[in-house]
Amino acid sequence: MSVNNLLERLTHELPTALGEPVTITRFESAGGGCINSALRLYLSTGTTLFVKWNPDAPSDIFECEAEALRIMQQATSLKVPTPIIVGNATPHTPSFLVLEDLTASNSRSRRDPNIKFDEELAKGLAEMHCYCGPAFGFSRDNFIGATPQPNAWSDSWLEFFRHQRLEHMVKLLSEKGKITGATANLAARFLEKLDRFLGGIATKPVLLHGDLWGGNVMPDANGRPALIDPACYYGHHEADLAMTQLFGGFSARFYEVYAEILPLADGYRERFQIYNLYHILNHAYLFGGGYLNQAVSIMARFV
């Protein structure tokens, strides 16, 4: 599969998707992350588009992302890129997702010092965390990075997080031979005791970004905060907030403004470690390294 084949397909599909005659005048690599490749397309209309593509991606990974982006657009005033085409793989072209280009430039926009970026981000996230779902879960299973993420509906946040987040990840790691013996016993004991920490909280299912680290927040072309690359589901709002603390990149002012709108309940200092355990286990599954040792340390702390 080649980029030229992908561009040829996009040349045929873009006029229909955009509702006007259009051609691709040039393109350039837009970097991409550790999972997908990315292109920026320059069109004859003077606009640009962002394309993610992957010849080895699960068949529905971009459909899942497009659905999540559309729901986030309903739930928050923060900028979220509009999906334009979801393309399934063919023998000659990879699966792909064409998106609105938020930067409309050759590189990510810089934050405008005249815009209170962190305050807008906190308000927009809190707004999304007031958008309620019918139960904990999502309308379909999706992905956290490239890892399958089950989302069957549940009326219990404790049971949802225990079975469809932590237990699911432990199972994947066990099947990969990364969790065995004493570590497997530790994980089982930790999961049994999870109700001590999550069982007594009063929460309702609200829309989560699901993968809210600093790299998935960016300034748009106007310097305002935008959210990208979601792994959405309806859950406890603290799970999103906890991930913002996992790798840093969020200011003290962001947390101050967020807490003014959605104050954190007692016990958050314990819960945020448990919520981040999910992402640490996922990193152990995807990347290995010291992430499993970090996960073991967290579980041992609570057993």
**Residues marked as catalytic:** 211
Chain-centre distance for alpha carbon 66: 12
- Angle of helix 268-287 relative to helix 291-302, nearest 10 degrees, comes to 150
Taking the C-alpha atoms of residue 77 and residue 111, their distance in angstroms, rounded to an integer, is 18
Q: Side chain identity at 62, as an amino acid letter?
A: F
To which H or E segment does residue 24 belong? strand 24-32
- Residues 6 or more apart whose CB falls under 8 angstroms from that of 78 comprise 72, 120, 121, 124, 125, 127, 128, 224, 225, 226, 227
> Alpha helices of the chain — where are they, by DSSP H?
3-18, 61-75, 117-128, 157-161, 168-175, 181-192, 195-198, 237-244, 252-261, 268-287, 291-302
- Residues 6 or more apart whose CB falls under 8 angstroms from that of 171 comprise none
Q: Side chain identity at 261, as an amino acid letter?
A: I
